[in-house]
Amino acid sequence: MKISVIGTGYVGLVTGTCLAETGNEVVCVDIDEEKVKRMRSGEVPIYEPHLDVLFERNIEAGRLTFTTSLKEGLDHGVIVFLALPTPEEEDGSADLKYVLGVSEEIGKLLKGYRVIVDKSTVPVGTSEKVKEAIGKHASHDFDVVSNPEFLREGYAVDDFLKPERIIIGSSSDRATELMGKLYKPFVRSGNPVIVMDEKSAELTKYAANAFLATKITFMNEIANFCEKVGADVDKVRIGIGTDSRIGKRFLFPGIGYGGSCFPKDVKALHKSGRDSGYEFKILQSVIDVNQRQKTILIPKILAHFQGDLKGKKIGVWGLAFKPETDDIREAPALYIIEELLALGAEITAFDPEAMENVQRKMGDRIAFADGMYQPLENADALVICTEWGVFRNPDFTKMKELLQDAVIFDGRNLYDTDEIRSEGFGYYSIGRGQ
Ligand code: UGA
């Protein structure tokens, strides 16, 4: 099939590349000329495992091409995906200026029937607004479909190629049939394509992310309570996770959720509720608890150093909001670092992928290490913020030699508390006996 993708951010790139991989001819459109030039030469503008291999292969095969011309994109694809940014406005709502602006342009450029697909995470009712915006100028038939994505950063290619479900919000049989045909190769395993109305599809995306954020936040509160009463959250997690109604996944406590999705989507759903006269009390709590959780290690660090961090050298492992990404949006590490700096500490950090992004944001306010052991040299403590695989089984002897004071503040519960203490470390983690 001939497909176009408007917007080559994270979602657009993964969508375009994976659709080309199953034999479709995909044209990706972006207004950024420099970026288009780089992509044409095979450069992937984001870090996402496995994407580079697929990207190169499909460009070489001529199935994946790039342009700055929206007209070219619209002339090409019978299905046109909108993968445009929906930035967070100050009041927490999603800003639709890109989605609606491009929709108006699409209306002017339509030369034949097209299915326009909302791929971005957009508030309930957006597909109607998109329809209106296109309809202002359109002189041809078109349908608007909502098809939210459920891609996790770091696993996006796998999530796209082997989805647990495809959600299609559509009220047109013609569009539903075309979408079903497009996704057929991805659901051969029997996973469902679920068709529903547009509004329910839009809300499914928010409800899924808000539910997962709530699940994590609930466990963070249980972890905090465990510390008060001397219980071990790891045991509680395993205890409840074996109940299939609860499930084992997304029960890992830590220093809060971050990234470009959960924080933005929880706030946007909360705001949509208010706008519709409904107060999501649970979401307000999730937002507040998660904000507090991001710096939950700070009181422990302060208590360890008798309230004085002036001149203390602190090594930090992990800057990205989670492993397998260089994304630092809403990363708990940055909140912790800001507080530590404000308290007078000196920071040296290491992250396998995210250091350049942090350097761009923070400049030389902190030092960046060449390797994972360098931040430990003569440091007074190590703080772990992201659970990268390389931090899971480090050389403890070397760490003890390098650290001035062998103490670890672990925001991701990487180590067995008894084992690490028997290695001779002072060890503070989340929700497990301090
Ligand atoms: C999330 C969803 O998982 C995807 O399904 C969705 O498509 C995506 O948002 C989106 O809306 O685009 P992502 O933000 O990439 O994906 O990251 P997750 O792997 O879901 O992790 C989110 C945050 O939760 C991270 O900060 C992670 O550290 C935290 N987390 C996750 C926990 O603290 N505990 C857990 O048990 C699991």
Q: Ligand 1 centre from 102 Cα, in Å?
A: 29
User: How many folded domains does the chain comprise?
Assistant: 3
Q: What is the CATH number of the domain that holds 313?
A: 3.40.50.720
Across the strands, what pairs with 427? Answer: 408
pLDDT at 235: 97
Q: How many CB atoms lie within 10 A of CB 363?
A: 8
Nearest CA to ligand 1 atom 31: 250
Count the residues in the chain: 434
Q: Ligand 1 centre from 260 Cα, in Å?
A: 9
C-alpha–C-alpha distance, residues 6 and 23, integer Å? 19
Please tell me whether residues 136 and 155 are part of one structural domain: yes
Q: Are 77 and 3 in contact (CB under 8 A)?
A: yes
C-alpha–C-alpha distance, residues 148 and 146, integer Å? 6
Q: Ligand 1 centre from 212 Cα, in Å?
A: 8
pLDDT at 94: 84
Q: Are 411 and 332 in contact (CB under 8 A)?
A: yes
**157 within some domain:** yes
Please tell me whether residues 61 and 165 are part of one structural domain: yes
Across the strands, what pairs with 18? Answer: none
Q: For ligand 1, is residue 381 a contact (CB within 6 Å)?
A: no
Q: What is the CATH number of the domain that holds 252?
A: 1.10.1040.10
What are phi and psi for residue 249, nearest 5 degrees?
A: -90, 155
**301 within some domain:** yes
Please tell me whether residues 217 and 183 are part of one structural domain: no
Nearest CA to ligand 1 atom 3: 152
Please tell me whether residues 106 and 236 are part of one structural domain: no
Please tell me whether residues 228 and 337 are part of one structural domain: no
Q: For ligand 1, is residue 259 a contact (CB within 6 Å)?
A: yes
Burial class (CB in 10 A: 0-12, 13-18, 19+), 263: buried
pLDDT at 434: 64
CA angle 47, 341, 288 (to 5 degrees): 70
Please tell me whether residues 222 and 161 are part of one structural domain: no
pLDDT at 273: 95
User: In the listed set 174, 196, 218, which residue is the last one of a domain according to the structure?
Assistant: 196
Q: What's the ipTM?
A: 0.95
Beta strands in 38-177 (DSSP E): 64-67, 79-82, 114-118, 142-146, 166-169
Nearest CA to ligand 1 atom 29: 257
**Neighbouring residues of 161: CB distance < 8 A, sequence distance ≥ 6:** 18, 21, 186
Please tell me whether residues 36 and 173 are part of one structural domain: yes
The pTM for the full model equals 0.94
Pick from 262, 267, 329, 412 the residue to mutate for probing ligand 1's pocket: most ligand atoms within 8 Å of its CB: 262
- In eight-state DSSP terms, residue 22 is T
**434 within some domain:** no
Closest ligand 1 atom, CA of 327?
A: 15
Annotated active-site residue 28? The verdict is: no
Q: For ligand 1, is residue 254 a contact (CB within 6 Å)?
A: yes
Q: For ligand 1, is residue 216 a contact (CB within 6 Å)?
A: yes
Q: Ligand 1 centre from 257 Cα, in Å?
A: 7
Please tell me whether residues 253 and 152 are part of one structural domain: no
**Structural domain of residue 354, as residue ranges?**
295-428
Q: For ligand 1, is residue 149 a contact (CB within 6 Å)?
A: yes
Please tell me whether residues 216 and 267 are part of one structural domain: yes
**433 within some domain:** no
Please tell me whether residues 110 and 214 are part of one structural domain: no
Q: For ligand 1, is residue 218 a contact (CB within 6 Å)?
A: no
**395 within some domain:** yes
Classify strands 193-196 and 166-169 as parallel, antiparallel or unpaired.
parallel
Residues of the chain with pLDDT under 50: none
User: In the listed set 255, 278, 293, which residue is the last one of a domain according to the structure?
Assistant: 293
Please tell me whether residues 289 and 303 are part of one structural domain: no
Residue that the structure tokens 């409840």 belong to: 240
pLDDT at 16: 98
- State the helix-helix crossing angle for 262-275 and 281-294, rounded to 10 degrees: 150
Nearest CA to ligand 1 atom 13: 152
Please tell me whether residues 82 and 231 are part of one structural domain: no
**8 within some domain:** yes
- In eight-state DSSP terms, residue 94 is B
C-alpha–C-alpha distance, residues 380 and 367, integer Å? 15
User: In the listed set 251, 270, 293, which residue is the last one of a domain according to the structure?
Assistant: 293
Task: Give the distance, in angstroms, between the CA of residue 115 and the centroid of all CA atoms in the same chain.
Answer: 27
Q: Ligand 1 centre from 101 Cα, in Å?
A: 29
**67 within some domain:** yes
CB burial readout 325-351, b (16+ within 10 A) else e: bbbbbbbbbbbbbebbbebebbbbbbb
Q: Tell me: the pLDDT tens digits for 372-424?
A: 999 999 999 999 999 999 999 999 999 999 999 999 999 999 999 999 999 99
Across the strands, what pairs with 317? Answer: 350, 384
Catalytic member of 18, 28, 226, 261: 261
Q: Ligand 1 centre from 152 Cα, in Å?
A: 6
C-alpha–C-alpha distance, residues 96 and 330, integer Å? 21
C-alpha–C-alpha distance, residues 109 and 140, integer Å? 10
